[in-house]
């Protein structure tokens, strides 16, 4: 393996993270058009949307097992084709039942793609012996923003959902051709990370990393879905400002992830997660209890900045134990995304929206308490050779096949 091989692997993985973000951002932007095409009301349409989460939760662990057996490349390549194809078929659903069923297929493909690219990033980290996961997640966020902007432009130009998603399918195909070249290396038992071969990736580590991902994604869902409601109901923010809290959180999260790898390499993943989570908890507590718009916006901003490395650190740590653990952590995160809105909504109903917005503070403290789970496992004697190439790198040193 040469430094050029490792650099190419990093670039390819970065491209796939960005394309994955474009797909997800485009999907979210065209949901109103899909709803209008089905002539559906909010309640039934919301229930149908659960199909994507159900598919993702159900298939996350099998996706990890497939990666452990066949390698990241084959799984990512297939998922990259099926994800836009399932999005394209959504525009032809004749009713909510068919729409919900297609969303299950979309969730299966999307979680396979997500699990594969995170596993690829973990493999690149082993190649380079330094952190890159945070930067990859920043590129995913950037891709999501690009997908949302281009989706809005497509809708404004009168492009149908089918036309828009067909273009995305072609984009994925072209990306695959550009990145393609030869048969991928498949991951066998000898390609498993050293931590997995040493037995360090046991049930305790799996449980702790899953709990961290669960807490993080509940907190993220709380800001995503309830920050605007908090600013409107609790602080009487003007209409033009109710979305500012969510925007500040997202921008801070993306910017923080651009520099997250440097922080992790400098102070270690454990302290980066622990210090960042505690900063997030303190900032949001002060922002909510101050009951002023500037304080709230500052709290949301610092919360995003403090929590930005949590998910990348979880995936990076899971990747050191193999594809199966990445699948488990991904499943736990999706359960958190599913449960988050309901937990915050129930707390708000019982105790008020201000108290509900303190739930992410508790979750941030829990993440800080669990931060030791992201500590790198000690190297074992069997780990004497160079790290295995990601499955997207060919044995001949040529460009990899189409992957996601």
Non-local (6+) Cβ contacts of 333 within 8 A are 213, 214, 216, 217, 311, 314
Closest CA to 228 of 247, 254, 250: 247
Total number of residues shown for the chain: 404
**Alpha-carbon span 111 to 237, nearest angstrom:** 36
- Of the chain, the end-to-end C-alpha distance in Å amounts to 22
What is the pLDDT at residue 378?
54
What is the pLDDT at residue 207?
94
Distance of CA 159 to the CA centre of its chain: 28
**Are 387 and 62 a contacting pair, CB within 8 Å?**
no
**Alpha-carbon span 190 to 10, nearest angstrom:** 22
Q: Which residues of 377-398 are buried (b: 16+ CB within 10 A; e: fewer)?
A: beeeeebeeebbbbbbbbeeee
C-alpha distances in Å from residue 155, one per residue of 86, 148, 248: 19, 10, 25
Q: What is the pTM of this model?
A: 0.82
Non-local (6+) Cβ contacts of 399 within 8 A are 8, 12, 179, 180, 181, 182
- Using CB atoms within 10 A of its CB, is residue 268 exposed (0-12), middle (13-18) or buried (19+)? middle
Closest CA to 316 of 375, 403, 363: 375
- Using CB atoms within 10 A of its CB, is residue 202 exposed (0-12), middle (13-18) or buried (19+)? exposed
**Alpha-carbon span 357 to 308, nearest angstrom:** 18
Joined together, the tokens standing for residue 359 give: 């739930």
What are the two backbone dihedrals, phi and then psi, of residue 197, each rounded to the nearest 5 degrees? -70, -25
Non-local (6+) Cβ contacts of 274 within 8 A are 368, 371
Non-local (6+) Cβ contacts of 226 within 8 A are 341, 344, 345, 348, 353, 356, 357
**Are 403 and 116 a contacting pair, CB within 8 Å?**
yes
Alpha-helical segments (H) within 290-322: 293-307, 310-319
**Alpha-carbon span 271 to 163, nearest angstrom:** 47
Radius of gyration (Cα) for the chain, nearest Å?
21
pLDDT tens digits for range 105-122 = 999 999 999 999 999 999
In the chain, DSSP finds a helix count (H) and a strand count (E) of 16, 0
What is the pLDDT at residue 166?
95
Q: Which domains does the chain have, with CATH numbers?
A: 3-187 (1.20.1250.20), 196-374 (1.20.1250.20)
**Alpha-carbon span 380 to 398, nearest angstrom:** 31
pLDDT tens digits for range 216-248 = 999 998 888 889 889 999 999 898 888 888 889
Going from the first residue of the chain to its last (404 residues), give the mean pLDDT of each consecutive group of 10, the final group possibly shorter. 72 91 89 88 84 90 90 87 93 91 94 92 89 94 87 89 94 79 38 47 87 95 87 89 88 93 95 97 96 95 96 93 88 89 88 93 97 75 42 36 36
């Amino acid at each position: 393996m040469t430094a050029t091989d490792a650099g190419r692997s990093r670039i390819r993985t970065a491209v796939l993270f960005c394309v994955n973000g474009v797909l997800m951002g485009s999907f979210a932007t065209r949901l109103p058009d899909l709803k209008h095409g089905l002539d559906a009301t909010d309640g039934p349409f919301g229930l149908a949307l659960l199909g994507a989460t159900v598919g993702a939760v159900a298939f996350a662990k099998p996706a990890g097992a497939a990666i452990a057996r066949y390698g990241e490349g084959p799984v990512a390549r297939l998922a990259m084709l099926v994800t836009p194809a399932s999005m394209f078929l959504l525009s032809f659903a004749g009713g909510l039942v068919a729409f919900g069923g297609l969303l299950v297929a979309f969730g299966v493909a999307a979680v396979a793609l997500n699990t594969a690219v995170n596993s690829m990033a973990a493999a690149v980290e082993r190649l380079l012996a330094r952190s890159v996961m945070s930067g990859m997640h920043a590129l995913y966020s950037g891709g999501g923003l690009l997908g949302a902007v281009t989706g809005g432009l497509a809708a404004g130009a009168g492009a149908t959902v089918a036309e828009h998603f067909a273009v995305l399918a072609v984009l994925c195909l072209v990306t695959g051709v550009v990145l393609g070249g030869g048969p991928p290396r498949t991951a066998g038992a000898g390609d498993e990370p050293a931590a997995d071969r040493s037995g360090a990736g046991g049930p305790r580590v799996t449980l702790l990393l899953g709990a961290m991902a669960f807490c993080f994604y509940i907190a993220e869902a709380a800001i995503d879905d309830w920050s605007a409601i908090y600013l409107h109901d609790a602080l009487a923010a003007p209409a033009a400002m109710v979305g500012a809290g969510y925007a500040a959180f997202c921008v801070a999260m993306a910017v923080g992830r651009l520099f997250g790898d440097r922080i992790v390499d400098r102070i270690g993943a454990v302290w980066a997660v622990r210090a960042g989570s505690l900063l997030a908890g303190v900032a949001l507590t002060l922002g909510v209890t101050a009951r002023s718009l500037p304080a709230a916006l500052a709290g949301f901003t610092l919360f995003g900045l403090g929590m930005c490395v949590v998910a990348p650190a979880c995936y990076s740590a899971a990747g050191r134990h193999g594809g199966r653990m990445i699948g488990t952590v991904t499943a736990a995160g999706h359960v958190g995304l599913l449960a988050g809105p309901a937990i915050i909504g129930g707390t708000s109903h019982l105790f008020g929206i201000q108290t509900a917005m303190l739930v992410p503070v508790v979750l941030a403290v829990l993440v800080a308490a669990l931060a030791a789970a992201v500590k790198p496992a000690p190297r074992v004697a069997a780990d004497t050779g160079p790290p295995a190439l990601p499955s997207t790198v060919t044995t001949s040193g040529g460009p990899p096949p189409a992957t996601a």
